[in-house]
């Protein structure tokens, strides 16, 4: 089946790398993710990834426990770099050329983020992993995903989660929670739904950048999204089709 999107930004939470563990990185889970990514690269797409660090350290939680917020957020950025290097290693084991670009300078481990260089990597068929969020405290990796997606000209943000879309309540806690197939940006903001934080949603709304929330753990799900199949929850403007068409 033909692809619907050409350039994609995949947002991966740190928790997604834990697998069934309660902390850290599960090698089998990361390898599964690498195999899924290898499968969709064969379709000729250009793929960038923004990765979180919640499996190792959460800045917001630490600040609530008394740590100074900026310091806590910088520690969270370092956690995302650890995750990015783990994913890079898994991808390269499968023969996928990968570059990690960090928003905070760490020359021995990763390239510094340069937009034009990132785009060039994508054009050459390399996967680019964006680490360290935006490089600024008080901003989440959701906001980093929205920002980087717009900077590289992505057609869509694919947010991989543990559940198969966006629900009216936590489906684990509430058996009556209803799944949404489509939502508008305004719906997300008004209902306070946990798709992405409000800054990220506002950025996507202002730039008409669609978001698909889907279950990252399902085999073949990344491919299904790229093929345009109805999977997960699509967040978009009220009058568009959810896809930014570009000619490259």
Which two three-digit tokens encode residue 13? Answer: 């939470």
**156-161 and 7-12 as β-strands: parallel, antiparallel, unpaired?**
parallel
Convert the pLDDT of each residue in 39-87 to its tens digit: 999 999 999 999 999 999 877 777 778 889 999 999 999 999 999 999 9
Q: What is the domain-level CATH number for residue 188?
A: 3.40.1160.10
Alpha carbon of residue 6 to chain centroid: 16
* Enclosing domain of residue 223: 7-236
Its pTM stands at 0.92
Percentage above 90 pLDDT, the chain: 83
What domain count does the chain have? 1
- 244 falls within a domain: no
Residues recorded for the chain = 248
Pairing mode of beta strands 111-112, 127-131: unpaired
Those residues whose C-beta lies under 8 Å from the C-beta of residue 245, and which sit 6 or more positions away, are 155
8-state DSSP, 43: T
Is 123 inside a domain boundary? Answer: yes
Mean pLDDT of all residues in 185-212: 95
The enclosing H or E element of 153 equals none
Task: Find the mean pLDDT for residues 15-22.
Answer: 89
Confidence class for position 166, pLDDT limits 50, 70, 90? very high
Query: Which two three-digit tokens encode residue 53?
Result: 């660090």
Q: What are the two backbone dihedrals, phi and then psi, of residue 56, each rounded to the nearest 5 degrees?
A: -115, -45
32: in domain: yes
CA angle in degrees (0–180, nearest 5) for 39-43-44? 120
Residue 213 C-beta-side C-alpha neighbours within 13 Å: 25
User: Does 222 map to a domain?
Assistant: yes
Position 194 confidence tier, pLDDT thresholds 50, 70, 90: confident
């Amino acid at each position: 089946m033909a692809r619907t999107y050409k350039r994609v930004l995949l947002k991966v939470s740190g928790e997604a790398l834990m697998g069934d563990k309660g902390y850290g990185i599960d090698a089998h889970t990361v390898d599964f993710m690498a195999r899924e990514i290898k499968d969709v690269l064969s379709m000729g797409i250009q793929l960038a990834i923004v990765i979180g660090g919640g499996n190792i350290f959460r800045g917001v939680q630490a600040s609530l426990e008394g740590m100074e917020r900026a310091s806590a957020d910088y520690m969270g950025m370092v956690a995302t770099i650890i995750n990015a290097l783990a994913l890079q290693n898994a991808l390269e084991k499968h023969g996928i050329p990968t570059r990690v670009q960090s928003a905070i300078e760490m020359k021995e481990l990763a390239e510094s983020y340069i937009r034009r260089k990132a785009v060039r990597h994508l054009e050459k068929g390399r996967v680019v992993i964006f680490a360290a969020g935006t490089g600024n405290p008080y901003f989440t990796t959701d906001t980093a995903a929205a920002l980087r997606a717009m900077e590289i000209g992505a057609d869509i943000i694919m947010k991989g989660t543990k559940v198969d879309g966006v629900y009216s309540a936590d489906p684990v806690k509430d058996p009556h929670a209803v799944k949404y197939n489509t939502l508008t940006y305004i719906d997300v903001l008004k209902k306070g739904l946990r798709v992405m934080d409000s800054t990220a949603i506002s950025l996507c709304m202002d730039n008409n950048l669609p978001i698909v929330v889907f279950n990252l753990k399902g085999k073949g799900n990344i491919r299904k999204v790229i093929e345009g199949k109805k999977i997960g929850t699509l967040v978009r403007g009220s009058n568009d089709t959810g896809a930014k068409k570009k000619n490259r």
